[in-house]
Amino acid sequence: MEKLITEGDLSILKNKDIAVIGYGNQGSAQATIMKDNGLNVIVGNIRDEYAKKAEKDGFKVYDIPEAFERADLVLMLIPDEVAPEVYKSVESIVNKKEGLILDFASGYNVAFGFISPPKTSDVIMVAPRMIGEGELLLHKQGKGYPVFLGVKNDYSGKAWEYAKALAVGIGAIGKPGGIAVKSSFEEEALLDLLSEHTWAPILVASIKAYFDIVTEKYGASPEAAILELYASGELAEIARAMADVGIFKQMKFHSTTSQYGQFSRAEKYYDILRRITEDEAEKIWNGEFAKEWSLEQIAGKPVLNRLWNIYTESKLSKSEESLYKILGRDKNE
């Protein structure tokens, strides 16, 4: 099978009853796009505000076990940390429904054994590399977006075809700009977690270090520092240019002084960051992080809650709050 995929046969899903479990960011976007594409979609959700929104948007909403009972294809679009408990509540239904197609938007729970679907199910992964709001915007523009596709169990012999068809159904491929990459549950989990353990925290740490040094040691105004760092929107434009033309070609949009500073200092940081990345990748791959995160959840997330307090009470956070009030921005959005 080809590694890069741009097309799929949506017709094989036309006679399927499709249940979207969870009507949050991904659930609402994928359900809406599938409905627009003529598929039979219901929503499985607890009776909360998300369920009310789904009903308002025109979907029939059922309790999660009933949604599983009614469906031929189930999309598990709930947060990783609650998915195992939800799956446990419907496991007996899944076990007796031979040929059920189970889709996951993240490889995490299956890769690390928190969810173990039966061999009598097709177990696929259609993992968008896009937030729900972005999926809807691109759908309205007639454009696609990237997804990772994986198959953990091919009971029917058609699991890959179902994965490709679903990628079409949710608006990812079959349109300009849309591409699917053949992957696996394990690879997706590694890539996703490693982003969250390397460049993302490094960005946060470097911004905070920059802010603390220039304001505390050199007397720079907090407002000027925050605008320079990210509040002006320049950082977002750089990221957009990376997506559009590539990480190195976008450097041509910067001054030669900037180019020299970035390339020469990248060499300075590379060896340190490579060692950190190698260590984090190993801890993800061998399951050490999955164990760490599970224990953190069992304990009531004390470390996460403490870190939230530390960062939101920092000088950077307080200064940002003051600046954003002046700018008329809502920090909580």
Percent of the chain whose pLDDT exceeds 90:
98
Helix axes 256-285, 185-197, angle to 10 degrees: 130
What average pLDDT does this structure show over 273-284? 97
Neighbours of 114 (CB within 10 A): 17
- What's residue 235's pLDDT? 95
Residue 126: per-residue pLDDT: 98
Mean pLDDT throughout 183-201?
A: 97
Instruction: Indicate if the pLDDT at residue 333 is higher than 60.
Output: no
Closest CA to 195 of 296, 259, 277, 288: 277
Q: Which residues are annotated as a binding site for Mg(2+)?
A: 192, 196
The helix/strand count (H/E) of the chain reads as 15, 9
Q: How far apart are CA 285 and CA 315, in angstroms?
A: 36
Domains defined for the chain, CATH in brackets: 4-183 (3.40.50.720), 198-327 (no CATH)
Least confident of 27-31, 32-36, 326-330: 326-330
Kindly state the average pLDDT of the residues 106-125: 97
Sequence-separated (6 or more) residues with CB below 8 Å from residue 196? none
Return mean pLDDT, the chain. Answer: 96
Rounded mean pLDDT, 43-59: 96
Q: Say whether pLDDT at 182 is over 60.
A: yes
Average pLDDT over residues 157-173: 98
Determine the pLDDT at residue 332: 57
Query: Is residue 2 very low, low, confident or very high in pLDDT (cuts 50, 70, 90)?
Result: confident
Is the predicted pLDDT of residue 190 greater than 80, yes or no? yes
pLDDT for 299 equals 97
pLDDT, tens only, 54-96: 999 999 999 999 999 999 999 999 999 999 999 999 999 999 9
pLDDT cut 70: percent of the chain above it: 99
Cα distance between residue 257 and residue 126, in whole Å: 42
Query: pLDDT for 295-331, tens place per residue?
Result: 999 999 999 999 999 999 999 999 999 999 999 997 5
User: Per the annotation, where are the binding residues?
Assistant: 192, 196
Q: What is the pLDDT of residue 230?
A: 96
pLDDT grade for 1, boundaries at 50, 70 and 90: low
